[in-house]
Amino acid sequence: MVLEVKQIRKSFGGLQALSNVSFSIEEGQVFGLIGPNGAGKTTMFNCITAMFPPTSGEILFFNEKITGLKPHQITEKGICRTFQNIRLFQQMTVIENVMVGTHCRTKAGVWRSVFRTKGQKQEEKVVKEKAEELLELVGLLDLKDTAAENLAYGQQRRLEIARALASSPKLLLLDEPAAGMNEKETNDLLELVKLIKSKGYTILLIEHDMPLVMKACDRIAVLNFGEKIAEGTPTEIQNDPVVIEAYLGREEADELA
């Protein structure tokens, strides 16, 4: 099992953001985490990536307890995420943004970089080649020397995913990657998620675009007011009366069927 979330609770003062939430993700899956705004989805991401600790419960990554670790240690273990709001280095080029993502896997220190040693130059060459491979994967190789700020919105989202992949994650967390996208960009994103999965990556996805979720995910967990109200395959979720009542609504459920 790649990830096991066990009875996670998170409180902010008197506010219970997550209440005893449990789920597990198998290797090679695309696992969806859905629910209304304020349901606790991003809070769960933040607990998994150690942005803040859960109040109680534990999280296992390949059977190793990771609750209590620092964010950089979580990244080193092999968990990387994107964010709802784009967080690129806007003045840096596309390829430089991706190369930054490899930082946790590089070994050249300050002095090797200052003196441009043979080892540092070889490592930089390898990093650049990997960045180019990832840009080709997300369809941005032709724009590698373009400043990130000059990319279209959907392209910036793809660049964020490439940068996250640059850290060689064993689990990729995508936080609303289709937010703000038009229909074509969303369809392109769906194909990209499928392509990334085909490369052997495991993905945890938060998303409000239900057609994308139902087409991309192998399993889905539904949160509502911090509690998990359902888990199952896309077909099971879109036919679950509790989910329809709390989130999908009958009309949308019928459209997805």
Q: Which long-range contacts (CB under 8 A, 24 or more apart) does 140-148 make?
A: 140/94, 143/94, 144/93, 144/94, 144/95, 145/93, 145/94, 145/95, 146/93, 146/94, 147/90, 147/91, 147/92, 147/93, 147/94, 148/88, 148/89, 148/90, 148/91, 148/92, 148/93, 148/94, 148/97
Partners of 16 in the β-ladder? 11
> CA-to-CA distance for 103 and 168, rounded, in angstroms?
11
Cβ 170 vs Cβ 64: under 8 Å: no
What residue ranges do the domains of the chain occupy?
A: 1-78+169-257, 91-166
Q: What's the pLDDT tens digit per position in 33-74?
A: 999 999 999 999 999 999 999 999 999 999 999 999 999 999
User: Among 104-108, 205-209, 247-251, which range has the highest average pLDDT?
Assistant: 205-209
- Domain 1-78+169-257: which topology? Rossmann fold (3.40.50)
pTM over 0.75: yes
Question: What's the pLDDT score for residue 111?
Answer: 35
Average pLDDT value over all residues in the chain? 90
User: What percent of the chain stands above pLDDT 70?
Assistant: 88
Q: What's the pLDDT tens digit per position in 192-226?
A: 999 999 999 999 999 999 999 999 999 999 999 99
The Cα angle at residue 58 between residues 34 and 75, in degrees rounded to 5: 75
SS3 of 218, please?
Answer: coil
